[in-house]
Each structure stands twice: as C-alpha cells, then as structure tokens.
Structure 1
Amino acid sequence: MATPTPSTNTPSKHLAAFSSPAPRSIPGMINFDSPAALGLSLESVVGMGISMSGMGMSGMGMSGMGLTASAMGRADEDDRRRRLEAVIATLKMKPGRVSEEGIIALCKKEGLEVMREPQSGNRAMLTLLIGNEAMCEIQLRDGEIDTVKLELASDRPEIGYGTSGSKILLQSLRPLPGMTRINLTLERFSHNLDKLLRMDKLSAPENGGVSCYQAVFGVYTSLKKLFEHEKKMALAVMDASTPYADQKAEREVLCKKSGRPRINAGSCIGLSLEYWMDRRHIIPPKPHLKSASTKGKDKMDIDSPPISDLEEGDPDINKIYSLTIECESSPSSMYSPIRISDSWISSAIEKPADSSDINSLPNLLLNRPTLDWLEPAPTYLPSAVPEGSHDAMNLDTAPGRLPNIRFIAKFNPPLVVPLSVVVTIHQSLGLDVPQDIRPTTFVGLALRPGEADPGLAGIAGEGTLEVQSEKRVLVPTTGGGEEERIHANSLYVPKTEYSRAIESLPFQHPRQLVDILPTLRQFAFTTSLLQYTFLSPSPSAPPGQNQNQSQNQTQTSHSLDLKSLTTTPPLSAESRQKHMQLDATLSYAQPLTTTQPSQPTPRLSIHLPHPSSSPQNPNPNPTSLLSFLLSGPSAQPNPPLTLTFDVLPNADLNISDQNVVRMEEVGDGGGDGGDRGDGGVQGFQERIKRVARALEISGDLGVWGEWLRREVSRE
C-alpha cells in the first residue's frame, strides 16, 4: 500500500509565516474561517509583514524546502563550524542512560546536590536534594533501580504528592512495555526532574518565598471539591443496580462537567485537570486481585487501586486529554499573579441563578446549575528589608508586593483548533491574541504532522484537499463468526480552515479553565475521531499518539462489537478482496444552537455503500456517485447511506441530515419510546439519537459505519 499523502488542486505557492509589529489585539469580529478572510485580515486589519524567519514549518528543514548547499552556495568554514558546535551542544543536552553514573551526571549538569551512601548487599542510596522543597532517594541494587522515594516539604496528607510522585519517578527509570533495557535513557526522569526544579526555583527566597506547590494544591483542593460534588449528583440519577456506576459517574464528570483533577496522574508529575476521554463508555474489566497471606497470619485483603489508575492500563482505548496546571515567571504588573488559597469555590458549590446576572443567563437557558465561585484575597510577599535597615525608598523591598508568578495550563496533548477559536479562547481568558499566525491547517497539524502543511501551498483555498488511508475492521458474519474487511477511507476538505495547536494557556482563576472545557472537548473528540481513521503512522507523530503502529501495514483493526476494540493478525489474501469505501467531508458550520454563533463547529458528512451492495460493487446500479448526487435519491432504489452531524460543545452530536432512518419506516403504531416500533416523531427522534450514541460509544467511523450497514440490512 502506498503511503497515504494529502493532495490538493490548489496551485502551489510558498508562503512565509506572518509576524507583525501591530498592536497586540484583534477585534472579536475577525473570523479566520477562510483563506480570503485571513488574507484580508493580515493586510488591512493587522497589517502584518511577511517574514521568512517566522516560517514555523514543523519537521521541515532547508532540504524540505528544496534548498541545498549547491543551490545556496558553499557555506564558509565559520558557518560550518557554528553548525557543528550547535549539534555538539544539542547532544550534550540529552540525558544519558539509566544507571548510577548517569543519574549522578544528570544531577551535576542540573546543579543538584547528590549524595551517595553505600549499603550492604551490593546496594547504594542516592539522595537528590531538589532545592529547598523536595528530596528524592533512589536505592540501587546490583546497579539496577530498586526503589524511589520522593518527599516534599509542603506536602499534605490529603494530597499525597510524595507517594504518587515516587511511583511516577520509579516508572520513568524503568523501560516501557516492549523497550529493551539497553535503550532506556533518563529522558523521562529528566523531564519530571525539571518540573520539580522549576517549581522550587520559583518558590525560592530570592523570588519572594511564595510556595508554588501550596498555590497549586489550593487549586486542586477546590477543583476536587467541585468534582466530588458533581460525581455525587451523577450517581444520584443512576439506578442502584447500574454496573460500574462509580466509574461511569467519574467519566460523566470528566467529559461533560468540570473535569477530573488528579495529582501526579499517569506519567505526569503535578496537577492535571482531565477534560476528555476517548470511548469513555468502554470500561476495561477490573484486574482480579487475590488476597495475600503471610506466615502465622490470616489472609488480608489488598486494597483495590483507584478507578483512575485502572484506566491507565490501556491508553489506546481510553486516551485522556488533560491540562497540566503549573506556575511560571511573569511580572505581576502585567498579569494577575498566583494566589494561595483553598477557597476558589464555596462549600455550597452551587448558588441560585440570578436572571439579572449576565453570567447566569447561559445557565438559565441551558437549565444547568450556576457554580458559586469565589475570589480569594491576593497573596502578598513579606518585606524583604533586612532587620535594622531603613531603606524605605527601595520599592523592591517594600511590603505589600505581589509575586511575579502566574498560573499556566499546559495541554497534554496539544489541541488543534481553528484559528478563530484560538482568538476566542484567548479573549475569554483576558490574553493578548497570538501574533505568530501561521497558515497551518487541521490536516497538516493533526493528520499529517510529518509532512509539509497543505496551508503552505497557497492562500486562495482553491480546490478540495483529499486525505486517504486504509484500515481493517472485523465484521460479524451471519454464521456467528467474523471476517476482516478493508476500509478505503477518503477525507475531503473543500474549504481551508486555518488552525493552530494550543500548547499552553496562562490563567488567573480555575473558573476560566472550567468555562472553556466544553469547547476543548468539542475539538478533542473531532481530532480523535479523524485521527483514528485518517492519521498516517509516523515517527514524528505528536505527543499522545500511538507510535507503535507499523508503517508498512494498514492501520489497526478493531471489532464491530462496540464493547471491545481488539487488534487482529495480518490480513489473509482472501480478506484483502473484501473492501468498502468510506468517504467523509470535513467542514465548519455556524449552528444556531451554540451560545457563541461566531465560533465554527466541526461538521462531518459520511457516505457509505448500501448493505445490499457487494464489497466489489459498492453501488448496485451503474450510476456514478456524481450522477447520483445530481439526480437525487429517487434515482436509485437503494442509494448509498449518507449522514451529516455536527460536533457541538461538550462533544454532543447533532445529526442534521441523514437517510438511514426514515419516518415512514417508523410506523404509526404506539409504543413505549423504544428504539423500534415507536410511532410518530418521538420514535423517529429516538432512533436518530441511537445512531449518534453508537458513534459516541465506538469513537471509530469504520466500526460505526459497519454497524449502520448492519442495522439497515435488518430493516
């Protein structure tokens, strides 16, 4: 199979990125949903110049732009020497391999004090003093990492930062599944160590002595209080006999409410606010825990691991999108600084909606509760004037100063959203709109990250971009077995929508993060859905993507069951004869149901062959697709299945057009509101909701498409 590559009919034009000396603000009415609008805004509103220095072509060097040494002229000796020194400097920055010597060398490079204490039995203890706040003890046995213990001076019993942090640091010093020990480096350990060092440096006395850990713990305490309240409300509406009720309630809050806060989650040191989970309805079975026994004692039950820990066993199914909340240096005169408080939200959590309050109107319209957020008092630095000093004119040492530190949320993984959504999010947080606007697209950033972005080909947006891929899907047969079917997938993007990957956002109050979660979920679901079907496996895939997929095979197969997604062996020759064409068109709509009508909403139109057609002849009639679209549905007795749905905030799905469920097929008989046999509009709407829910559960266009064809064949 040829490597899938995007193609376009647009004439190729090399574009520079855009940088501007213009004022750092863009009016809210500017819309970047088209190349023409972007070009107009760049010329007349923002007045940006064109600069090659701001190209920002990820993964594209000089050779990728068609420029070689022969074309540019032979580089002089000084230039070649500078490049060689840069390569050597880069190599020196990379951490070494996991070993006692490697850890000691890493600590020396980071300026950390490390002490080695020999112990009996070929053991040794390395004690790392991570500034004034943290200490890490690493015990080695026969040169191998045995245990890791992290201690934090400002830790709290209800936080347990040291306990969970120790597990993460130990995991970062052990090989990942499928990795050999000889290839194990200190890269993951160094990344977490850098986080601890940055937090300690910001909390140092020379920077004011305000504990960033305490500030983050305060935010966690308030978000945890909100999470527990919403989880309790979710459990209250569930039936007592609902299986996996606790997990379902947690995931409902994670994906539809205010998110799930966690300290030291997965492989990430620090506070994470998880806001989306792929296929949250697919719950992996709990591991069977056997009771343990010791000599002379009765059997003792082992405590079950937390629900969140069970989800980390299969991230390929339940991939999680999160915001890592940290601190960074920032002048307090330019941006609101951090505040140390556990009271970002009241104990009551909710408050009565006030129709006179403009902030309460969206909640009244959507019939949802209004959260009772609080504004903690500012955190001031103590006076830095030494005892006996009377230098009252020194403003830097005057009492009542604010810390030059702010909160920042880092996206894990980075989230690709339209450029106009980037502007809206920044404005909602009171941030300046980014000026480094680049002509990058969703296809280039999310589906083909290792290739030149299609947006660099031109700004006119002429022609339709097409992305192709293949995937294997297990399809149940009439005899109760399964067969493999190849899906030839095509994604069409008729209109260029410039996009950007958001990596981090400064914020002042956790309320601001909770307010933008519905928008983040909207594009997280869209990204996952299309990546799962059209992402080209590449070593340069963005963080969070599965990099273990073979580049010489089609994408991973999955079962049609909707309850479990199972990898399958390579295709047989017979199975390769069974294929199905799946066409999808990505556009952006302006639905009337959203509270922000100017914000683009992802719209997907799906085209599938009717189940009465064979895999070799997807269209039973000799009429082409173009002829069918021109002649209308009445031209064929069994036209292809078509559905169009919008991905709304909170990843709610709205099917706006379809020919799968027909009103005349529902019937006029009575019913109890079930999926089948219910007459009238209610039964029609229920069956359409069932189609949308199937897509939400599967999170896979191929699996969903085969399920649709099976349902239609049963009619």
Structure 2
Amino acid sequence: MTTPTPGKTAASQQGRTPQPLAASPPVSTPFSLTGAQVFSPHGGPRSSPQQVRKSPANSTTLAGHASSGPLNFDSPTAAAAMGSLGMAGGLDMGLDGVGVGGLAGYGLGVLGGEDERLKRLDSVINILSHKKGYVSDEGLERLVQRIGFDCLWDTHTAPDGRKMKMLVVAGKALQLEISLDNNIVRNVAMSFPLSADAVKDRAARATAILLRDLELRPGQSPLTKKLDDFYANLERLGDLDKHSVIPGFDLQEALAGICASLERIHAYDLEKLRAEPEVAGKGERYVRNVATCHRHGYPVMHARDRVGLSVDYWIQRHCVPPADERLEKHIETSEGVWSLLITCAPMGDTIYSPVRISEDWISPRIEKEEPSAEDVLSTAAGPALDWLEPESTVLPPPEEEEGGNKGPVGVDGGIPGKYPEVIFKAILDPPVVLPQPLWLHMYELVGAQPPPPYSYPTFDSLFFPIPASDEAHDPSAPRTIEHAREVSVVPRAARDGGAAATTTTGARRHRNTLYVYKPVYGQVLSELPFSHPKQLIALLPSLRQYALLSTLLKRSFGDGSAEGEKEREGRGGAAGGTGTNMSTVPKARELKTFWSGRDADKPGLPGAEAMDVDAPAEEDEGVSSVDVTLTVHPAPRLQIVFPLRSSTANVGLEIGPSGRVRITSQNILPEGEVAGEKKGLTVEKLGRALEVLEDIDQWCEWIRTRVDGS
C-alpha cells in the first residue's frame, strides 16, 4: 500500500484532473466574452500587467481596453486597432495624461481635436482684433505697436508742476507726442520734421482731429473712452508712413500735391460761378455747394474728424444751404456728404502706374484756350481743363552705413533708380451701387482691371435685400417693394424752392410701391486705383447720378432691413417718416390683385389704390398712394404715378449726369395750358423741384399744393 505524499490529494479525492503548475493562463478573445465585458473598460478579467504583456490574446490590439492599468500607444498596430474599433472618438477613456506624440511619425495625426482648438483660438483672436481698446497708458501703447510705429515713454513736468507721462511715437516721416495724466489724454502734438512745407502747413488740422479722438468730451467717462476713431485716423497715417522713403519719397507730400492742384481748380470754379446770373446774390455756401455737386468737386485735407485727403462730390440737400453755423454742423452730420478718400496702397501683383509726387497736375491757366473736339465730348460739365503729365518719381538711393554696408532700400525691398511699387487709390465713402455695365466702365476710365465678381446680384437687391423667406426668388422675375411713411407737406408760399420750402403745414401718410419689371445686374463700387487726378474728375458725373438715385430710393422706400425700420420707429420718426417695408414676389402680388379686384366692387374704394389687403379700412382714409417704376439701363429713370385732383398724375423722369433731373413725359401740364404758367409751373421747374427736395414724396406733395391747392 502506497502512502500518499503529504500536500497532495489523490485523483479520486480531487474530483477533477490536476492542472500542471506551469500551464499558461486561459486564452480569452473578444468573442469569448460577453457584450458587457467586451465594450466596458472594466468588464474584462483583472490580471496583472505581466500577464497582459505575455499573452497575445490580452494585448491592446484586441482587449487591452479591459485593463485598468495605463495604456501603451507605442505600437502603430495598437493605434490602428483603436481606430478600427471606433474608440478614438467614441469612448471617453480618460486619455488626458497619455502621451501620443509618437503617432505623428506614423501619419495618424494628433488625437484630441488639436485642429479644432486652433480654429477656435483663431476665431477668438479675430473677434478680439476688432476691439481697439480703451484710452489708457497700456491701451495706447498696444495700439501704436499694433499699427507698426515705434514708441517709448517719457516723463515731463506740466506748467502747474505736475508730473505727466508722454508717449513718443516715431515713424519715418511722422512724430507724435501724446501727453497723459492718470490715463487721461491732455495734449497731442504731431509734426512732420522731414516733409515738405505743404505737409507741415496742414499738420495742425490733423493734430486737432487726433486730439478730439482721444480727449474726454462732455458726458464721457475715462473708463469707457474707446480708441476706435483714433485707430482709424492713425492707421491711415501709418499706411502712408510705412511705404515712404525719407528723404526723397514722402507719400504725404504726394497727397499734398494732388490737393494743391485740385484746390486751384476749385478756386477757378468759384470764380466762374460768381459771374453767372443764376448764382448772383446767393450766399457763399450755396456757391460752394454748386461747385462741389456740379463742377469738379471740393478737395479738403483733414476735415470732418477724418485725417487725410478727401474730394467731396455730392452733398445732400445742397440746393438749400443752412442759415447759420449751428444748422450747418447739424446738416453735415445728418444729411451726409459723398466723397472720395484719396490714399496710397502697395501695388502688389497688379501692373499699374506708380505714384508721382508733384504739384503741377494742372496748368496755371486751368482751362484750355483751344480745346479739341475730343476734349469737348469728354467733358460732361464745365470747361475743358488743361491737365499736365508730371515726370515719374524714382526711388532715392539708399544711405551709406558705417563699414560700407547699405541701409534699407526702396519701398518694400525696392532698389534705387526703380519706380516705387505704390499706387494711388480712391476709397468711395459711402460706396455707390451701380449697374454692372457702368461698374465695368468705371474701371475702364482709370485703366485698371476690374476684380472678378464673387456674385451677380441685381441692382435692386443691393438696395433692398431679398428676404430670407424668398430664397427661391428668380432674379430675372419682376419685384415689388412696399413702404409706408409720413411726409411733411410743403406750403404753397414756397414757390421758388428756397429755404422756405422746408417749412411744413402738416403731414400726410404715403403708401409707396416700387416696381422693378426689368432687373439688371449691379455691383457695389467701393474703391478704385488711379494714376492721375483727371481720372477722378471723369468719374464724378456718373457717381452723382447714382448718389441722387440712392437718396431718392432710400428716403421713399427705406433701406430694406427690418432692423432699420424698427430703429426709426423707436426714435419716433424723422422728417422722412416711418413705416414697414416688404418685398412682394409675383405669386403674392397676384393674390393681392385678386383681393383688390374684390374690393373694387365696394363704393369709394378703387381697386387700383388698394395698397395692402391686410390694413384696416380706416387706415386708408387720408392715405396717398405713390407708385414708382424703376429702370437703370441705359440711364436711371423713374415713372411716378400719384393721385392728383380727381385723376392721376403720371410723370416720367431721367436722372442725368451730375444729378440733373429731366422730365421725359408728364400729364400735369398739357401743352399750351395757361393755368399752369400762371401758377409758375413749367416742365423745367418740375425737374428742378425734385433736385431741390431730393424726396419723391415731398415732391408729389409740392406738386399737389400748387395744382389742386390741397
């Protein structure tokens, strides 16, 4: 009988086959586990890291996610398996502390959304870049450095003995000193020490504008004084300074030369106008307005809180000059001035004539003594000017440095003896909406290549955007815009269209409808390169045409935005009135016509005058309907229909160059009517009245008060 060995149990007593001590652990695969064990990070068997490394079945390629220990991404096979199982972005595995830099070498990218974080960071930087900051020591320093100027701080003693800080800003031709007392700007001094006298003489006006941008005005707090206006003006100065080469090539001097030549033309226009019988006896402001809007514009350097050279070419209500200086300042801020802001810009990839520095763009006699036939045809208004062609400007040679090295040369890396890679540029303020053929013609006049249009909107949609609900609207289909407003009534006593024309005796509610039957494509003209001031003068007649058309459309039909209408209603309404503005698509207009036909059966309510089927009947009492049909090709034309006497007035007009209105058809004054002549009404006066009023609704009321006496 054999004695059992201690510590061992017989086979019959164990009840199962003994397992060898050195046997490997059982193999488990994802298919041998339950669903909860496979996809749960804690559902697998808990085993030691040594067993996980030794067993291929427990490797990270299959069920490594079941381990509670740290994960290893050193193998590209493991990373590929993670992607095939959708575990990279679908499971929250707590990988914040895991280093995955090694994956870049395998071309698998970086996990964790690094690109998304960079995009979000760029969007935040873009939002912050629009904020210019507030007036303070740190805010001014950051702003100056952002534009590209060098700056440093200095301290000085004020006349009253106080210690004040001074921010000294230095450029190539510009020197600016800003004195601050406890983050409040007390004084600004700007100079151009190396520039020509023409630049230095105008520096005082620019300094006053910069000081107004920074100093505290009545009602302002030091905690809320923003740097937006100061940034806009200093950036314009910085762009000119950055592309200058001092001494020898100063862009401030180039603009001063253009300004001097245009000022001589403006003085010539004023002298000629004063000798005309139509202007005799009028005030100086009226004469200047006529020269601005119907001659060669008005050049002004550093004006209307804007640093730089501007050429004003259109002034709203220019035929009715203000009576005093207080009203003049109010009109300048409320009515609006259309101008060209002259500046310089790098040439870039375009091929265009570079900047020339000269004051002799026009001859001393201004007008040609014997103009050619071509000069007469090309001159839309006024005399044929005797333009000159200044010589080309060449970059100065670089200065010698110690050791024989040469300093920086040229503009943006140019070389001496080379033409500067800088061009003149005119920025339209405000931009002008033009038909696309005329938009292309503008670039032809300046000899530039037009930029490729990114879209092809219609002319009317640029004034009155298509509502979001009309996305399927066909651009070639007719369109209707409706607008309601209250209009001041002009008294009969104001027959000459002078200052008395602004006196009101009451108000009448108008319901206006604009019809666009033949839409044409349009573009917004915002800036143009040019090489000679005569190119700008050639643009002015056409720009004035559409400046007047824009004024007429916006005053009678709003700006097409619901936000603008709500804002005007919140202010209680202006002289132009308030109301709603909506665009009607053809199907909706057909439905409206149907309801209008049903209402025509009712006595006292003609179907042709039912403007809005949703409006209550009592609102139609005392409401005057004005229908306007717009065409802009080949010239801007308006067909205006409004009630007059017991019939309907139908007037067709055309807006010509420089904003001259010409009546093409009318049924108000039949040929040979004596009554109209006795009242002082002629076809010419009808057009002149619209030029003076610059408002279709007020013009209709002006005619009504003189024809039917209502």
TM-score, scaled relative to structure 1 = 0.68
Structure 1 counterpart SS, 2:627 = strand
2:629 maps to 585
2:275 maps to 236
The question of 1:523 aligning with 2:524 is answered: no
The question of 1:279 aligning with 2:317 is answered: yes
2:138 maps to 101
The question of 1:706 aligning with 2:701 is answered: yes
Do the aligned residues in 1 keep the contact of 2:515 with 2:630 (CA within 8 Å)?
yes
* Cα distance, 1:184 vs structure 2: 3.6
1:601 maps to 635
The question of 1:268 aligning with 2:306 is answered: yes
Alignment of 1:478-497 (within 5 A): 482-497=505-520
Are the structure 2 counterparts of residues 701 and 713 from structure 1 closer, same or farther at C-alpha, using a change threshold of 3 Å? Answer: same
2:342 pairs, out of 299, 302, 325, with 325
1:472 maps to 486
* Cα distance, 1:525 vs structure 2: 0.9
User: How many Å separate the matches in 2 of 1:348 and 1:189?
Assistant: 40
Are the structure 2 counterparts of residues 661 and 264 from structure 1 closer, same or farther at C-alpha, using a change threshold of 3 Å? Answer: same
2:121 maps to 85
2:207 pairs, out of 154, 159, 166, with 166
Structure 2 counterpart SS, 1:314 = helix
User: How many Å separate the matches in 1 of 2:276 and 2:298?
Assistant: 19
Alignment of 1:306-385 (within 5 A): 311-315=328-332, 318-330=335-347, 334-355=351-372, 358-363=374-379, 368-384=382-398
2:595 maps to none
* Cα distance, 1:529 vs structure 2: 1.5
* Cα distance, 1:538 vs structure 2: 5.4
User: How many Å separate the matches in 1 of 2:528 and 2:381?
Assistant: 29
Are the structure 2 counterparts of residues 149 and 528 from structure 1 closer, same or farther at C-alpha, using a change threshold of 3 Å? Answer: farther
2:191 maps to 151
Alignment of 1:238-253 (within 5 A): 238=277, 242-244=281-283, 246-253=284-291
1:660 maps to 668
User: How many Å separate the matches in 2 of 1:417 and 1:379?
Assistant: 34
1:505 maps to 528
User: How many Å separate the matches in 2 of 1:192 and 1:322?
Assistant: 16
Gaps in structure 2 of 5+ consecutive residues: 1-111, 494-502, 578-617
Structure 2 counterpart SS, 1:84 = helix
* Cα distance, 1:125 vs structure 2: 4.5
Are the structure 2 counterparts of residues 453 and 215 from structure 1 closer, same or farther at C-alpha, using a change threshold of 3 Å? Answer: farther
User: How many Å separate the matches in 1 of 2:370 and 2:469?
Assistant: 46
1:556 maps to 574
Structure 1 or 2: larger helix share? 2
Are the structure 2 counterparts of residues 85 and 117 from structure 1 closer, same or farther at C-alpha, using a change threshold of 3 Å? Answer: same
Gaps in structure 1 of 5+ consecutive residues: 1-75, 289-309, 542-546, 560-573, 590-599, 613-637, 668-674
2:253 maps to 214
Q: Which moved further from structure 2: 127-136 or 496-505? A: 127-136
User: How many Å separate the matches in 1 of 2:632 and 2:345?
Assistant: 35
Aligned residues: 541
User: How many Å separate the matches in 2 of 1:713 and 1:651?
Assistant: 28
- Deviations along 1:479-503, one digit per CA (max 9) or x if unpaired, are 9983332222221111212111111
1:414 maps to 431
- Deviations along 1:189-213, one digit per CA (max 9) or x if unpaired, are 11111111111100046xx951111
Structure 2 counterpart SS, 1:200 = helix
| Residue identity in the other structure for 1:102 | G
Alignment of 1:623-702 (within 5 A): 638-666=646-674, 676-677=677-678, 687-702=682-697
User: How many Å separate the matches in 2 of 1:373 and 1:77?
Assistant: 63
| Residue identity in the other structure for 1:147 | N
User: How many Å separate the matches in 1 of 2:329 and 2:168?
Assistant: 28
| Residue identity in the other structure for 2:658 | N
User: How many Å separate the matches in 2 of 1:254 and 1:332?
Assistant: 35
Structure 1 counterpart SS, 2:355 = coil
* Cα distance, 1:370 vs structure 2: 1.3
Q: Which moved further from structure 2: 492-501 or 217-226? A: 492-501
Are the structure 2 counterparts of residues 576 and 460 from structure 1 closer, same or farther at C-alpha, using a change threshold of 3 Å? Answer: closer
2:172 maps to 132
Are the structure 2 counterparts of residues 502 and 177 from structure 1 closer, same or farther at C-alpha, using a change threshold of 3 Å? Answer: farther
Do the aligned residues in 2 keep the contact of 1:331 with 1:404 (CA within 8 Å)?
yes
* Cα distance, 1:171 vs structure 2: 2.8
* Cα distance, 1:311 vs structure 2: 4.2
Structure 2 counterpart SS, 1:663 = coil
1:56 maps to none
Do the aligned residues in 2 keep the contact of 1:235 with 1:249 (CA within 8 Å)?
yes
Do the aligned residues in 1 keep the contact of 2:464 with 2:560 (CA within 8 Å)?
no
1:442 maps to 459
| Residue identity in the other structure for 1:170 | L
1:225 pairs, out of 264, 281, 284, with 264
Do the aligned residues in 2 keep the contact of 1:155 with 1:161 (CA within 8 Å)?
no
Are the structure 2 counterparts of residues 317 and 481 from structure 1 closer, same or farther at C-alpha, using a change threshold of 3 Å? Answer: closer
User: How many Å separate the matches in 1 of 2:504 and 2:253?
Assistant: 57
Do the aligned residues in 2 keep the contact of 1:471 with 1:557 (CA within 8 Å)?
no
1:461 maps to 476
User: How many Å separate the matches in 2 of 1:443 and 1:650?
Assistant: 21
Structure 2 counterpart SS, 1:550 = helix
Structure 2 counterpart SS, 1:369 = coil
Structure 2 counterpart SS, 1:264 = strand
Do the aligned residues in 2 keep the contact of 1:484 with 1:575 (CA within 8 Å)?
no
TM-score, scaled relative to structure 2 = 0.69
Do the aligned residues in 2 keep the contact of 1:470 with 1:555 (CA within 8 Å)?
no
Task: Percent identity, please.
Answer: 28
2:556 maps to 533
Are the structure 2 counterparts of residues 466 and 160 from structure 1 closer, same or farther at C-alpha, using a change threshold of 3 Å? Answer: farther
Higher relative contact order (CA 8 A, sep 6+): 1
| Residue identity in the other structure for 1:483 | G
- Deviations along 1:637-669, one digit per CA (max 9) or x if unpaired, are x321121111111111111011111224236xx
User: How many Å separate the matches in 2 of 1:283 and 1:481?
Assistant: 17
Are the structure 2 counterparts of residues 100 and 420 from structure 1 closer, same or farther at C-alpha, using a change threshold of 3 Å? Answer: same
Are the structure 2 counterparts of residues 160 and 534 from structure 1 closer, same or farther at C-alpha, using a change threshold of 3 Å? Answer: farther
